[in-house]
Amino acid sequence: MLSTSPLGPRRRSAAVLAAAILTVGAAGCGASGSPSNAQAGPSASTSANPDAGLLGIRDPWVKAADKGMTAAFGTLVNDGDTDVTVTGATTSLSPMELHEMAMKDGKMVMRLKQGGIVIKARGTHALEPGGDHLMLMNLTRPVQAGDELTFTLTFADGRTQQFSAVAKPFTGAQESYAPGHGEPMTGMSATPGMSMSPAS
């Protein structure tokens, strides 16, 4: 009995040490090998991002201009199941307004888009010369062909989304981006017709 007593504590120590190693190893595998734990962080932060895009924006572009006014165009794409309303747009280069073209007194005029631009669920909405567009009202510097501008759209629910657009030369619809008819912010004279796509 006496000869085996010194080995008793050693065996107990070895058993305790082995149990501790197994416990640490199991905890380490659980932390690194669980797909649900590994994916929880990124998916949560993405879904909670207030600037997550509500719209796709196809072929965005800006009409090059030396001064005064110009406009941004493209196709707004809504892949969601509910309508989306754009209520405003901003850029660091100019104050902006949402505009539309409409007939008034037998003439095509440019005016504020009342109620914003609505993109129907699973639908698209074209921003184009001679139609709805994002108007830059007073350029602080020339916009030259090849320049890239950043815009921020504001939606009816308060969320925002940024996109970039490259400036292109364009003489198509012959809009005259200057106030007309003595109607501030409403009467922008334009001659309809001609091409409705940017010069390449």
Inside any domain, residue 196: no
Q: Considering the chain, what percentage of its residues have pLDDT values greater than 90?
A: 55
Strands 160-168, 56-63: pairing kind: parallel
Q: What is the Cα–Cα distance from 110 to 160, expressed in whole angstroms?
A: 25
CATH of the domain at 69: 2.60.40.1890
Residue 149 has a pLDDT of 98
Residues 28 and 89 in one domain: no
Residues 24 and 110 in one domain: no
Q: How confident is the model at residue 171 (pLDDT cuts 50, 70, 90)?
A: confident
Residues 31 and 89 in one domain: no
Residues 111 and 28 in one domain: no
pLDDT in tens, 63-93: 999 999 999 999 999 999 999 999 999 999 9
Q: How confident is the model at residue 198 (pLDDT cuts 50, 70, 90)?
A: very low
Residues 61 and 155 in one domain: yes
Residues 34 and 120 in one domain: no
164 is written with which tokens?
Answer: 């970039």
- What domain range includes position 14? 7-47
Residues 40 and 60 in one domain: no
Residues 40 and 115 in one domain: no
Residues 173 and 83 in one domain: yes
Residues 109 and 153 in one domain: yes
183 neighbors 160 (Cβ within 8 angstroms): no
Residues 74 and 154 in one domain: yes
Inside any domain, residue 199: no
pLDDT at 40 over 70: no
Inside any domain, residue 195: no
Residue that the structure tokens 């902006």 belong to: 96
Residues 66 and 38 in one domain: no
What phi, psi does 50 have (nearest 5°)? -70, -15
pLDDT at 126 over 90: yes
pLDDT at 143 over 80: yes
Q: Would you say the pTM of this structure is higher than 0.85?
A: no
